Amino acid sequence: MKKIPVALIGASGYTGLELIKILLSHPYFEIAFLGGSEGGEDICAAHPSLRGIFSAPIEKSDFGAIADRCSLAFLAVPHTKAIAIAKELLARGVKVVDLSADYRLKRETYEAAYGVKHDDAKNLAHAVYGLSELVGQEAIASAKLTANPGCYPTASLLAAAPFLPYADLSAAIIIDAKSGVSGAGRQCVARTHFATVNENCFTYSPIVHRHAAEIEEKLRLETKSPIEIVFAPHLLPITRGMLASVYLRLKKPIDDPTRIAREFYAGNPFVRARDESVQIKWVVGTHYCDIFCRVHGGVIFAQSAIDNLLRGASSAAIANANLMCALPYETALPLIAYAP
């Protein structure tokens, strides 16, 4: 099979590096364009770990050149920056997987959460939310524009989804989630400074975190019910990985929640329902989401662990691109965790 040329815009960030690592071992995709806001340097200058393995210039994004060379583009750019790029590429017939939040939400939800106007209603109306376990692989396979889910929403939604039919949706869903510092991106801010994070754990943007709007909207769409969530994200003194604990009030008893989870995710091998409490080390470096669940009284405790840079961003983008290009979902997805 002839290789499918792809572009990566935003190649210098953490998710850009993870995309490059997967694409270099992908049997059907090849990197044909690396884009950045300025361009002018080799990718090895941004990511020295690639030296001697892969070299290519980071170019200033030229939409015509991308369309001439590429069939699909990954947008690993900051929130609010992808809209202008996606519009141009889609108009030129290039499929897009957007890793930002710009096409994940309904227009009014997006504008309230991100404080900017969304001026691409046409493409937003046709964007597919790229969490295949919820929307179905067929929907993503037919998409021209896939909106990659956020990392916290991925972990939270996959933990909660099997139990929504049993939940009392009049009660708030409580989500306690913890992430490694790589989720904040490559640019250092005071919150992610070593002296702040080391030997520490703290909540940031509780209740009002932007991902709360995404989680709440997708739960409402899934259940067709009004839902309220209480979302508390925490920062851990680790580089990568995410652990989400979700608490739902039950409206009827559940005898075997693990069986319910396994049946719900039958046919989705990258969600593993475990018999013991999950650990970040089991999934870091992989596309897997591990979940664990128990019932206590009238509450279901559902926990998930993912790699925030992979399942929460880059490997999810590859999985979506696989489907959009009529390839098997699992192609080139990382399987083995870094840690023992």
At residue 38, does pLDDT exceed 80?
no
Please state, in angstroms and as integers, the Cα–Cα distance from residue 93 to each residue in 66, 72, 96, 187, 198, following that order. Answer: 10, 9, 9, 32, 46
CATH number at residue 163: 3.30.360.10
- Residue 334 falls within a domain, yes or no? no
Q: 261 and 301: one domain?
A: yes
Backbone angles phi, psi at 119, to 5 degrees: -105, 30
Residue 120 belongs to a domain: yes
DSSP conformation letters of 56-118 = -EEEE--HHHHHHH-SEEEE---TTTHHHHHHHHHHTT-EEEE-SSTTTS-HHHHHHHHSS--
User: Is residue 325 flagged as an active site residue?
Assistant: no
Residues 214 and 231: beta-carbon distance below 8 Å: no
Phi-psi region of 329 (alpha: psi -120 to 50; beta: other; left: phi over 0): alpha
**Residues 22 and 125 placed together within one structural domain of the fold:** yes
User: What's the sign of the alpha-carbon dihedral 328, 19, 39, 151?
Assistant: positive
pLDDT at residue 143 above 80? yes
**Does one domain contain both 138 and 163?**
no
Is residue 184 pLDDT above 80, yes or no? no
162 and 216 co-located in one domain: yes
Q: What is the dihedral of CA 305, 308, 309, 312, to 10 degrees?
A: 90
Residue 156: alpha-carbon gap to chain centroid:
11
Q: Let me know whether 157 and 140 are in one domain.
A: no
The first and second tokens of residue 122, run together, are: 């046409």
Is the pLDDT reported for residue 187 higher than 90? no
Looking at the predicted structure, is the pLDDT value of residue 147 above 90? yes
Q: Which helix (H) or strand (E) holds 273?
A: strand 271-273
Q: Looking at the domain assignment, is residue 335 inside a domain?
A: no
Looking at the structure, tell me whether residues 213 and 75 fall in a common domain.
no
Q: pLDDT, tens digit, for every residue of 247-257?
A: 999 998 899 99
Q: Tell me whether residue 176 is in a domain.
A: yes
Q: Provide the residue range defining the domain that includes 190.
A: 152-306
Q: Looking at residue 312, what is its pLDDT?
A: 98
Q: What's the pLDDT at 339?
A: 76
Query: pTM for the whole thing?
Result: 0.96
Tokens (6 digits) for 207: 């209740």
What number of residues does the chain have? Answer: 340
Is 194 domain-assigned?
yes
Residue 337, domain member (yes or no):
no
Co-location of 199 and 281 in the same domain = yes
- pLDDT at position 220 over 80: yes
Average pLDDT, the chain: 95
Q: What CATH number should be reported for the domain holding residue 121?
A: 3.40.50.720
pLDDT, one tens digit per residue, over 262-299 is 999 999 999 999 999 999 999 999 999 999 999 999 99
Query: Largest alpha-carbon pair distance within the chain?
Result: 61
Give dist(CA 245, CA 286) in Å, integer: 20
Instruction: Write the pLDDT tens digit of every residue in 70-93.
Output: 999 999 999 999 999 999 999 999
Virtual CA dihedral for 152, 303, 288, 185, nearest 10 degrees?
A: 30
Same structural domain, 82 and 225: no
Chain centroid to CA 219: 16
> Cβ–Cβ contacts within 10 Å for residue 300, how many?
23
Contact assessment for residue 155 and residue 183, using Cβ atoms and an 8 Å cutoff? no
114 contacts 80 by C-beta, under 8 angstroms: yes
Q: Calculate what percentage of the chain has a pLDDT beyond 70.
A: 100
Based on the fold, state whether residues 57 and 115 are members of the same structural domain.
yes
Same domain, 142 and 162: no
Say if CB 7 and CB 306 are below 8 A apart.
no
Region of 40 on the Ramachandran plot (φ > 0 left; ψ -120 to 50 alpha; else beta): left
Distances (CA, A) of 254 to 43, 157, 251: 52, 19, 9
Tell me, yes or no, whether 239 lies in a domain.
yes
Q: For the residues 224-243, what does the mean pLDDT come to? A: 96
How is residue 219 written in tokens?
């739960």
Q: Write down the catalytic residue from 44, 70, 151, 289.
A: 151
Q: Binning pLDDT at 50, 70 and 90, where does residue 135 land?
A: very high
Does residue 206 surpass a pLDDT of 80? yes
Residue 336 lies in a domain: no
Both 64 and 17 in a single domain? yes
Cross-strand pairs, 295: 300
Query: What is the domain count for the chain?
Result: 2
What would the two tokens of residue 15 be?
């998710």
Question: Do 114 and 62 belong together in one domain?
Answer: yes
